[in-house]
Each structure stands twice: as C-alpha cells, then as structure tokens.
Structure 1
Amino acid sequence: MPEPQRGLIEDDLAKQLLSAINDGDLIKDGRLPSERAMAERFSVTRARLRRALDLLQDDGAIFRRHGQGTFAAPPPATNVDSLRNLARQVTPRDVMEVRLEVEPALAALAAERADARDIKRLNQLVQATLNVDKMHDYEAADDLFHYKIAEAARNPLFLTVYESIRSLRKEASWTHQRRENYSRETLAILGQQHLTLANAITNKDSIAAAEAMELHLVTVSKALLRERVRKIALD
C-alpha cells in the first residue's frame, strides 16, 4: 500500500470522499467500496480513512451498517428479498396505515433524543425540500429527512421497522405515482410541513412533533388518494 499522504488531515480527506461520492465515482449500487479499497485509492491508512468516514457519518452524508457496509443513502432493510414478495400484496393504504402508527412515535422520540448534529442535519434537509421544482430533488431530500428522524429516535428496533417500511415502498410497483403527479403546490405544502416538524424536534416538543408528523402523513395519504381517483376517472 502507498505511504500515507503527509499533511492530509481528516477534514480534507472527508471532502475528497464526499466529492467522489457526489460525482458517482465511488458508488456502486448505492454502496461504497471496502475500507481497504478506499484506503488504497486515496493513499491513506485505514485508521485515517475511518476517522474521515466518521466525519461524513456525523454529517449524515453516509450511512454505515455492521455487516452491510457503507452507503451513500440510507441502507436497505436486511430482509429485502422477503419484502419484494410482500410488496406485491400491499397497497398504498396498507403502507400509510402503518406509517401513521410508526412515524409519529419516531418523531416524538426524536424530539426527546436528537442531538445538535441531528438537528443541524434535519434543518439542512428541510431547506432541501423547500422551493423545489423537480420531483426527484424533493424525493431525495424527503427520503433522507424521514430516515434521519428515525435514526434520531435512538431505538434500533424502531429503526429496523422503519427500514423495512422504506424498502417495501421502494419495491412496490405503485411508488412511481408520487414521482409523476405531485404538483408544485403539493410539494410546497409538504415542504412547509417538514419545516414545522423540524422546528418541533428542535424545540424538544415531542407532542408537537408527533402531531406534525401525523398531519404530514395524512396530507401525503390524501395526495395519493386524489391521484388514484383521477386515474380511475380517466380509465
């Protein structure tokens, strides 16, 4: 392995890694290479690489899961294969019923347990969901925002349940409905609801956070229902 680069501090290495991630140069199927491969590529020790990865993880730029690896996006659930079968059976209504039970509780716990880094990242993600014109941009920020709330709840069992819900939604054939049909007005409403939710978590108000999450999910559910009705009318 090449000698470690002299004077390359962890902040600089973290910036290089993030740049390579954003360029898509370091990612395959959403996953980063092994630590050994990345250390060789950037000519650093694995200890220094880990410290740089710690910085990126603290900022919410990467996600590490024991036994799964390092991801540029929230990792898939461990039971993806079984979820694919389930995805063929569930409807948007099924998913929303479960989300309405799980995610307000996650929001309440996040309000109690989120640290300063969690709150900083949540507020960054909120800004990314405001004033967006493209559905793809909204979806990416929305996905990270909700996942960060689940992480901030600091409950590994709850996080596993949430990861299963998230992975199931991605596998379901009806997921494309939202991509194609949310209006700019709907995106604006959802973005403002994210802001209200983030403020409740920032203020450590668990009741307000749970209520804000419930209202947000009801809005999402109604938007999906309107689209289904429209499609039936057109058929």
Structure 2
Amino acid sequence: MTRLTRILPELRLAMDRHAPVAGDRLPSERDLAAGLGCSRQTLRAALAVLEQEGEIWRHVGQGTFRGPRPLGRPVRESLLIEVQAPDQILRARLLIEPPIAAEAARAAGPADVRHLQKLAAEGRAATTRGACEQADARFHRGIAEVAGNPILLGVLDHLSGARRRAVWQREWDRTYRLVGVAEFTGHHSDQHGAVVAAIAAGDPPGAEAAMRAHLETIEQAMRRAEIRP
C-alpha cells in the first residue's frame, strides 16, 4: 500500500470530523498534515485526488472547502456583515430561501427533481444529529443550485457558514435537545417533501409557501427552546 493510498481514507475521516457539510472549510494544510502524520507533499497529492473526484474545491487565499466547486464565486465574509445572533440568521433565511424555492420551481427539470427527492430521502433516513445537519445543509443548498443563480447561492453559502459558528451552535444545541432526530426525520422531512413536491409540480407560489412554513417551524422550535427552563 502506497502512502497516498493509506492517507486518502484517513483524510476523508478527518474531513468528516472537521468539515462535515458541503461548503465547510478544511483545516490548514499544516494542521492536516500534522494530524495525518504525513508530509505536505503527500497531503497535496491526496487533496488533488479528492478535488478531481469533486469532493473538495480550493480557492487561492481562502482555503480548501468540502463539496463540489459552487456555481458562483464564494462570497467573502469580509464583504458581508458578520452575523452575530441566531435570530438574524433565521430572519435572513426567511427573506431569501422561500423566493429561491420559487425560482427552483420555475427552473427545475426532471433530473433536478429526482436529485432533490434523493436529498430529501437522505434526510429522512438520517439517524444521528450530525447526519441530520449534513442532510439538511445538502437539501437547502441543492434547492439553491437548482434555482441556478450563483449570487443567491453565494449568499446562502455565507448563511450556512454562519450557522456553524459558536453562537448559532449554542442555540441549536438547546433546540436539538428539544426536538431530536425524530422531529427532523419526521415533521421536518415531511416539510422538505412538500417543498420538493411543489417544485416538481412547477408551482412557484407553492414552493415559496412550503419553504416559508418549514423555516418558520425551525424558528418556532428555537424560540421554544430559548424560553424552556
């Protein structure tokens, strides 16, 4: 077994730990190489393999990111106001994501619908918190990809990044203890299915309403968790 062959599965495990969701930034090459016990030359060869397979993409000056290269240029965080409060993130999502779902309903073809149905099914099949969060991120990003507007996709990626910050995670921890995996794989997945059904029917108002109802459910759950003793 060559060193590169050995490093690849270990690198994928490191990605699952440090960058589990598409759009997540991987640790620096120095930190990854130290953690894997390999040279940076070997690491770069492994990263090149993953990039060729579409598992990561790299942006000079910004780092290495999980997932396929986005359709649009990533939005630099320095160009956007830093999101500090979870309610700001949710309000921004409520303003942005329902119209994105409507646009997806206008743009989706049969292959797009099948892809979104697959993403929704992956969420319903999730069994852990991490799997739920990853499936949810893939689903919402998938809708933005179908909508086909790289600017909106870049903004959505920024909001997704904000959700991984400590201030959001503290609030989400409380919410997760309240709703758990069953809520996500049940009611939330039903709502994902309703969004996809409207997109499949070519119903922009229905898709927009379904996405708004879904995000309002999340907002309400976080409020319940905040006031719960």
Q: TM-score with structure 2 length normalisation?
A: 0.69
Shift of 1:65: 6.8
Superposition pairs for residues 43-192 of structure 1, below 5 Å?
53=53, 62=55, 64=57, 71-73=65-67, 77-80=74-77, 86-87=82-83, 90-179=84-173, 180-181=176-177, 182-187=179-184, 188-192=186-190
1:221 and 1:149, CA in 2 relative to 1: closer, same or farther beyond 3 A? same
- Greater shift after overlay, 127-136 or 178-187? 178-187
- Greater shift after overlay, 164-173 or 174-183? 174-183
- 1:187-215 Cα shifts (integer Å, max 9, x gaps): 21101101111121122221111111000
Q: TM-score with structure 1 length normalisation?
A: 0.67
Shift of 1:73: 3.5
Asked if the contact 1:21–1:72 (Cα under 8 Å) also holds between the matched residues in 2, the reply is: no
Asked if the contact 2:132–2:181 (Cα under 8 Å) also holds between the matched residues in 1, the reply is: no
- Greater shift after overlay, 150-159 or 173-182? 173-182
Pairs aligned (count): 196
Asked if the contact 2:120–2:192 (Cα under 8 Å) also holds between the matched residues in 1, the reply is: yes
Asked if the contact 2:123–2:189 (Cα under 8 Å) also holds between the matched residues in 1, the reply is: yes
- Residue in 2 aligned with 1:45? none
Asked if the contact 2:107–2:147 (Cα under 8 Å) also holds between the matched residues in 1, the reply is: yes
Shift of 1:92: 2.0
- 1:29-76 Cα shifts (integer Å, max 9, x gaps): 655999x8359869xxxxxx85xx4xx5xxxxx465765677433779
1:41 and 1:201, CA in 2 relative to 1: closer, same or farther beyond 3 A? closer
Whole-angstrom distance in 1 between the partners of 2:48 and 2:180: 46
- Residue in 1 aligned with 2:204? 206
Shift of 1:22: 8.9
Asked if the contact 1:126–1:195 (Cα under 8 Å) also holds between the matched residues in 2, the reply is: yes
- Greater shift after overlay, 206-215 or 160-169? 160-169
Whole-angstrom distance in 2 between the partners of 1:126 and 1:215: 16
Whole-angstrom distance in 2 between the partners of 1:93 and 1:138: 21
- Residue in 2 aligned with 1:37? 45
RMSD: 3.7
Whole-angstrom distance in 1 between the partners of 2:99 and 2:137: 18
Whole-angstrom distance in 2 between the partners of 1:127 and 1:92: 27
- Residue in 1 aligned with 2:22? none
Larger Rg: 1
Whole-angstrom distance in 2 between the partners of 1:219 and 1:168: 19
Q: Secondary structure at the match of 1:204?
A: coil
**Structure 1: runs of 5 or more not aligned:** 1-15, 43-48, 57-61
Matched, 1:222 2:216: no
Whole-angstrom distance in 2 between the partners of 1:21 and 1:153: 35
Asked if the contact 1:125–1:144 (Cα under 8 Å) also holds between the matched residues in 2, the reply is: yes
- 1:95-149 Cα shifts (integer Å, max 9, x gaps): 2111111000100111111344432221111111115342111111001100111
Asked if the contact 2:56–2:68 (Cα under 8 Å) also holds between the matched residues in 1, the reply is: yes
Asked if the contact 1:200–1:208 (Cα under 8 Å) also holds between the matched residues in 2, the reply is: yes
Asked if the contact 2:120–2:189 (Cα under 8 Å) also holds between the matched residues in 1, the reply is: yes
